């Protein structure tokens, strides 16, 4: 019975350690590469959202990522374009220390890369 308990504890800790840094682990602070901007992605009132926490040009606190919905290996979201003052659908994936956003802006798709801020 003890060995079964140890095995269960080992498996649970292995999964929790390996979950960090996966394509679904997008929580954190991300550098967008524009206007010295940082976006913090975190759970707020049970929903995952991304808000601007630093920027040279845009208002801090602006909702940048909303309607985040986890899929098998990526997230679906709405990403806010400050320039166009409009939300666009996006597919969000993490690859190592990069967040890849594939934004559907009508007739074209734009790929954006954010870096994990350390």
Q: pLDDT, tens digit, for every residue of 40-84?
A: 999 988 899 999 999 999 999 999 999 999 999 999 999 999 989
Give the Cα separation of 72 and 106 in Å (integer). Answer: 25
Collect all residues with Cβ–Cβ distance below 8 Å to 99 and sequence separation of at least 6: 26, 30, 92, 93, 113, 114, 115, 116
Q: Global pTM?
A: 0.79
CATH class of the region 23-116: mainly beta
Q: Is pLDDT at 5 greater than 90 in this prediction?
A: no
E strand or H helix that includes residue 79: strand 75-81
Instruction: Give the position of tokens 């954190």.
Output: 28
What digits encode the pLDDT tens for the residues 100-116? 999 998 889 999 999 99
Instruction: Give the position of tokens 């095995």.
Output: 7
Give the Cα separation of 9 and 30 in Å (integer). Answer: 33
CA distances from 30 to 4, 8, 11, 13, 55 (A): 41, 35, 31, 27, 12
Give the Cα separation of 114 and 89 in Å (integer). Answer: 17
Domain ranges of the chain: 23-116
């Amino acid at each position: 019975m003890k060995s079964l308990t140890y095995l269960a504890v080992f498996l649970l800790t292995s999964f929790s350690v390996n979950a960090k840094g996966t394509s679904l682990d997008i929580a954190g602070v991300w550098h967008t590469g524009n206007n010295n901007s940082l976006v913090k992605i975190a759970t707020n009132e049970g929903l995952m959202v991304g808000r601007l926490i630093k920027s040279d040009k845009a208002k801090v606190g602006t909702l940048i990522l909303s309607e985040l919905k986890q899929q098998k290996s990526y997230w679906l979201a709405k990403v806010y374009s400050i320039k166009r003052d409009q939300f666009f659908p996006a597919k969000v994936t993490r690859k190592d220390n990069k967040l890849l956003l594939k934004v559907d802006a009508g007739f074209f798709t734009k790929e954006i890369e954010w870096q994990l801020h350390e």
